[in-house]
Copies of this chain bind each other. A is one copy, B any other.
Amino acid sequence: MDYGMYYFEHVTPYETLVRRMERVLASGRTRFQDFFIFESKGFGKVLILDKDVQSTERDEYIYHETLVHPPMLAHPEPKSVLIVGGGEGATLREVLRHPSVERVVMVDIDDQLVEMAKTLLPEWHQGAFEDPRAEVVYDDARKWLETHDDTFDVIIIDLTDPVGEHNPARMLYTVEFYSLVKSRLNPGGVMGMQAGMIMLTHHKAHPVIHRTVREVFRYTRSYKNHIPGFFLDFGFILASESFDPAALSEGTIEARIRERNLPLKHLTAPYLESLFVLPKDLTEAIENETLVSTDANPFYLTPEGEARQAPYPQE
């Protein structure tokens, strides 16, 4: 490691990733979070929100294809889509690639972050915010869902993890929240979500989220993929009341990819299917999990990756 600027990120409490920064492109704070963008040699632009790496220019396609296309392909003809979170616009970009889509509502609490992304992160949104089918709403996603009875074919949840007792995101990881999401799905609808990092020594986030979603939906399916820029595997969940979203045949997925003319760089039909096959240790961790996160007792993650349950602190 030569002289120069580095970014320290604690990937576990005992292992720290030190990334060389070539240039600092932007840093600041919105009303809701710190943001920070730097240029790296291996991964291009790196976006940090509240200290954690969110996305890198070079591999964001892997994350966003993995988050968006499994739920979108699980639906035979998604017309209306809700994105919960999704600030920099790449989730929106991938959703809009499905030609049946007529309306996408993206509800993100942080207007300043979205405005920043429009200017500084064109590699992510690639103009998606200009698409006439896209509506961006700046609001707390839970409040918006409670006060709007619009329903959707697909709802995609792209939130940061509920790290820390005072993290307001905790209320977006409860049985009550997922019930609300379910009530806004059309018949045959499907929910997809980012569902925590998967790590031998830190299995807790994903099993708890899975266990909580399973309280609400008839079908809950976990899948995982390796995200190189995070140096970790991440977990994802598909859930539906109507059908098993992991049970589509490879031929069906293949056909939908072809019909929709999706320009995929990472996923293929067989690879997408393979992501739902989990190793034994992870399956057991999910099956053995008993913690269900509720509004009265929502879970949060400690910096050590432990899951704890406690009432959300009143101010």
Q: Which residues of chain B come closer than 8 Å to A7, judged between CB atoms? A: 4-6
Q: Which residue of B lies closest to A230 (CB)?
A: B231
B201 and A58 contact, CB distance less than 8 A: yes
Which of A17-25, A115-123, A241-249 lies at the interface with chain B? A17-25
For chain A, give the interface size range.
Answer: 35 or more
A274 to B42, CA, bound (A): 28
Q: Which residues of chain B come closer than 8 Å to A3, judged between CB atoms? A: 8-10, 51-52
Is A132 in the interface zone, CB < 8 Å from B?
no
When A201-B228, A271-B280 are in contact, do A41 and B13 touch as well, CB less than 8 Å? Answer: yes
Q: Which residue of B lies closest to A5 (CB)?
A: B7
CB distance from A264 to the nearest CB of B (A): 6
Q: Which residues of chain B come closer than 8 Å to A199, judged between CB atoms? A: 228
Q: Which residue of B lies closest to A277 (CB)?
A: B274
A16 and B17 contact, CB distance less than 8 A: yes
Q: How many copies does the complex hold?
A: 4
Q: Which of B15, B17, B233, B280 contacts A15 (CB 8 A)?
A: B17
When A17-B16, A231-B15 are in contact, do A277 and B273 touch as well, CB less than 8 Å? Answer: yes
Is A40 in the interface zone, CB < 8 Å from B?
yes
Is A232 in the interface zone, CB < 8 Å from B?
yes
Q: Which of B1, B24, B51, B280 contacts A16 (CB 8 A)?
A: B1
| Chain A window 119-158, contacts with chain B (Cβ cutoff 8 Å), 1 for yes, 0 for no | 0000000000000000000000000000000000000000
| Chain A window 30-63, contacts with chain B (Cβ cutoff 8 Å), 1 for yes, 0 for no | 0000001000111100000001100000110010
Is A11 in the interface zone, CB < 8 Å from B?
yes
B27 and A14 contact, CB distance less than 8 A: no
Is A270 in the interface zone, CB < 8 Å from B?
yes
Q: Which residue of B lies closest to A11 (CB)?
A: B231
Q: Can you name 19 extra interface pairs (CB under 8 A) apart from A15-B42, A62-B200, A228-B233?
A: A1-B16, A3-B9, A3-B10, A5-B7, A5-B21, A5-B24, A11-B231, A12-B42, A13-B41, A13-B42, A14-B20, A15-B17, A15-B231, A58-B200, A62-B281, A199-B228, A266-B279, A268-B279, A274-B275
Can you give 18 contacting A-B residue pairs, CB < 8 Å? Answer: A1-B8, A3-B8, A4-B8, A4-B51, A5-B24, A12-B42, A14-B19, A16-B18, A17-B18, A58-B200, A58-B201, A62-B279, A199-B228, A226-B226, A265-B280, A267-B279, A271-B277, A271-B280
